[in-house]
Amino acid sequence: MDAHLAGRPPRTSALPDNTPPPPGRWLPLVAACLGTFLLLVYATIVTVALPRMAGDLGADFGALQWITDVYTLALAGLLLGMGSLGDALGRKRLYLLGLALFTAATLACALAGNVPLLIAARAVQGIAGAAMFATLVPLIGLAYTGRDRARAFAVWGAVAGAAAGIGNVAGGTLTQLLSWQWIFYGALPVCAVALWLATKVPADRARSAARIDWPGIVTFSLAATGITFGFVRGGEAGWGDGSTLLGFGLGVVLLLAFALVERAATHPMVPLGLFRKPAFNGLLLASGAYYLGGFAFLPVLSLWLQNGAGLGAFATSLVITAQPVAFFATSALVGGALHRMPARWSVGGGTLLVAAGDLLLLLVAQPGANWPVLIPGLIVTGVGAGLVSPVLPALAMGSVDPAHSGVASAAANSARQLGLALGIALLGTVFHRSVPGTGAGAPPVAYAEGLGAVFLVAGAVAALGGAVAWLVCGKE
C-alpha cells in the first residue's frame, strides 16, 4: 500500500533527494523479518524433535502428526480471515496482538507436560501466526516506498526462504544438546525483541468492523479442521471408524456452508467469482500440490532418519537442510527471471520438478539403501519449490481483477499452507499403514518400505498439480 493510501503524504515528497535518510528507517523491516522468521521456523522446527517428544510424552503416531499439523492447519485455515480482521482493526494492531499471543503460546509449548496441552499450545501458535502472516506484507508496504520498498521485500523474501533450513538445524541442535523444550524456550528472547521492534512499525487506519466476514471465517476454518481430522483419524483408527467419517462429513458440510455464506455475504472473505477463472484454480491447485509434494513428507522422513537409519537429531537436521539450501539458492539465483517467465514454466514446471524429486527419493526403498541416497531427491524437490514459491502470489494476483488481487494472493498462501497440513496428515497415514508398529522398534526395512509408499503418493499429487497448472496456464 502506498503511503498516501494510509492517510499521509508519500515519503518521497516529504524529504528532498539530498536529505539523509532518518535514523532507524530499517527497524520496521527488521521487525517484520523477525516475525516472519518466527512463524515460519515453527512450521519446521518440531520436525526433528518428534522422536524425542514421543519418548518423553508417550505420544503415539497420531499425536505426533497433530503436534506438527495443528500449527499449519490453524495458519492455513485462518489466514484469509485474519486479512479481513486486519482491514477492520488495523494491521499494526493485529500484528502486535498476534506476536504477543505467539510469544505466550511458545512459552506454553515449552511448559506443556502432556500431549493434549502441547497440541493446544501449538494450535494457539498457529492462530497467532496467521494474524502475523496476514499483516506483515502490507505493513512493509506502509513503511517503505520506491526503491526502499523493493529492497525491503527482497530482504523479507530471503529471510522467509532461509527460515525452514534454520528451523531444521536449530531443532536438531537444541534437541540433541539440551531437550525438545528448548526449541520453544530459545525463541522467547527473539519474541521479546520482535515485540519491541514492532512498535516502530507505522500505524495504518482501520476500516469498519462491519466488513469482517465472521460466518466465512468460522465455516472455512472448521471445514479445514474437519477434513484434516478425518485424514489423521483414518490413519489411526481406520477409514470406516465413526469419528473418521464424522470428521469428513462435517468438513464437507461446512465447506458447502462456506460456499453458501460467501454467496450471500455483502463483503465475502473470498468472492466466489474468482473460482470461475481456470488459471486461478490451476494456481491454487499447484500451490497445495507443490507444498504437499515438497515438504509434507519431512516429519516421517525425520522418524526414519533417527529410528531407521540411526542418525542423531543434529545429523538428521543437516540431511534435511539439503532441501531448503537448494530452495534458497534457486530463488536467489533465478528469482528475477522467473517473473518474466510464463506461469506454465515457473509454476507448472516447478511443481513437476518437485514430483521428479519425489520419485528420486524412492531410491531409499531399495534393499540396502541408506540416508545418502536421499540427497539428490531433496535437492531436486528444493529446486522445484524454489521455482514456484517466488512468483506464486504475484501470479495469483495477476490472474484476477485488480480489485481482488489482495484476496487472490492470500488464497494462494492459504492453499499452500493447507496443502502442507493435509499432506502431513495424508502422508503420515500412508506411512503409518505401511509400517506396522511405527516406533523405535520397527525394522529399518519396514521404515524404508513405508517411505517408498509416502514418496510415491507425494510424487503423484505433485505431478497432477503440475500437469493441471501447465495446461490451464499455457496461454499466459
Is residue 108 one of the residues assigned to a domain? yes
Average the pLDDT over 346-358 and give the result: 93
Domain end: 172, 188, 210, which one?
210
pLDDT for the residue numbered 460: 95
Q: What is the dihedral of CA 302, 308, 310, 316, to 10 degrees?
A: -10
Residues 241 and 157 in one domain: no
User: Is 400 part of any domain?
Assistant: yes
- Whether 297 maps to a domain, the answer reads yes
pLDDT of residue 19: 42
pLDDT attached to residue 39: 84
- Helical ranges in 265-404 per DSSP H: 278-295, 298-303, 313-320, 322-338, 343, 349-361, 374-388, 392-398
- For residue 131, what is the domain's CATH number? 1.20.1250.20
**What angle in degrees, to the nearest 10, is found between the helix axes of 242-264 and 214-237?**
160
> What pLDDT, on the 0 to 100 scale, is given for residue 29?
82
How high is the mean pLDDT of the chain?
Answer: 79
Q: Is residue 356 scored above 90 in pLDDT?
A: yes
Residues 34 and 160 in one domain: yes
Top pLDDT among 380 and 447 is at: 380
* Spatial CB neighbours of 108, under 8 Å, sequence gap ≥ 6: 117, 120, 121, 124
CA-based radius of gyration for the chain: 22
**Whether residue 231 is found in the same domain as residue 286:** no
Asked if residue 106 belongs to a domain, the reply is yes
Residue 153 burial by Cβ neighbours in a 10 Å radius (0-12, 13-18, 19+)? middle
Say yes or no: 45 and 149 in one domain.
yes
Per-residue pLDDT tens over the stretch 388-419: 887 776 677 677 666 566 677 777 877 887 88
Predicted TM-score (pTM) above 0.85: no
Confidence of residue 4 (pLDDT cuts 50, 70, 90): very low
Residue 335 has pLDDT above 90, yes or no: no
Determine the Cα–Cα distance for residues 403 and 389; give it in Å rounded to an integer.
23
Burial label, 25 (beta-carbon count in 10 A; 0-12, 13-18, 19+): middle
Give the tens place of pLDDT for each residue, 229-284: 787 777 667 778 888 899 899 999 999 999 899 888 887 877 777 788 888 888 88
Q: Which three cell numbers stand for residue 100?
A: 504477543
Q: Residue 426: name the closest of 292, 312, 301 by CA.
A: 292
Query: 57 is in which domain, residue-wise?
Result: 23-210
CB 299 within 8 A of CB 424: yes
Q: In the structure, what pLDDT confidence band is assigned to residue 98 with cuts at 50, 70 and 90?
A: very high
Domain count for the chain? 3
Kindly provide the b/e burial profile for residues 341-361, where b requires at least 16 CB atoms within 10 angstroms of the residue's own CB.
Answer: bebbebbbbbbbbbbbbbbbb
**Is 7 within the bounds of a domain?**
no
Classify the C-alpha dihedral 370-374-376-379 as positive or negative: negative
Residue holding cell 536421499?
A: 374
Q: What average pLDDT does the segment 46-74 reach?
A: 82
Residues 428, 373 share a domain: yes
Say whether pLDDT at 3 is over 60. no
User: Range with the lowest mean pLDDT among 2-6, 103-107, 175-179, 268-272?
Assistant: 2-6
Is it the case that residue 125 has pLDDT exceeding 90? yes
CA atoms within 13 A on the CB side of 394: 15
Beta carbons of 320 and 298 less than 8 angstroms apart: yes
- Residue 198 and residue 221 share a domain: no
Contact 466, 286 (CB under 8 A): yes
Extract the C-alpha cell encoding 463.
505431478
Residues 202 and 220 in one domain: no
Q: Are residues 136 and 284 in the same domain?
A: no
Q: How far apart are CA 54 and CA 313, in angstroms?
A: 13
pLDDT for the residue numbered 476: 45
pLDDT, tens digit (0-9, with 9 covering 90-100), for 428-473? 888 877 765 544 445 557 677 788 889 999 999 999 999 998 988 7
d(CA 323, CA 302): 13
Cell numbers that stand for 307 in this block: 529410528
Q: Judge whether residue 150 has pLDDT over 70.
A: no
DSSP state of 369: -
Quick one: 347 and 462 in the same domain? yes
At a CB cut-off of 8 Å and minimum separation 6, what does 206 contact? Answer: 87, 88, 89, 90, 93
Torsion of CA 74, 316, 99, 198, to 10 degrees: -140
For residues 170 and 28, membership in a common domain is answered with yes
| Residue 16 placed within a domain | no
Same domain? For 459 and 381 the reply is: yes
Looking at the chain, the whole-number percentage of residues with pLDDT higher than 90 is: 19
pLDDT tier at 5 (50, 70, 90 boundaries)? very low
271 in any annotated domain: no
Q: Comparing 87 with 438, which gets the higher pLDDT?
A: 87
What's the pLDDT score for residue 198? 84
**Cell 518474466, located at residue:** 340
User: Which pLDDT score, from 0 to 100, does residue 107 have?
Assistant: 95
Among residues 150, 139, 250, the alpha carbon closest in space to that of 202 is found at 139
Q: In this structure, is residue 348 part of a structural domain?
A: yes
Neighbours of 283 (CB within 10 A): 32
Query: Which pLDDT value is given to residue 257?
Result: 94
DSSP 200: T
Number of Cβ within 10 Å of residue 314's Cβ equals: 16
Q: Select the more confidently predicted residue: 278 or 228.
A: 278
Judgement on whether residues 401 and 448 belong to the same structural domain of the protein = yes
pLDDT at 424: 79
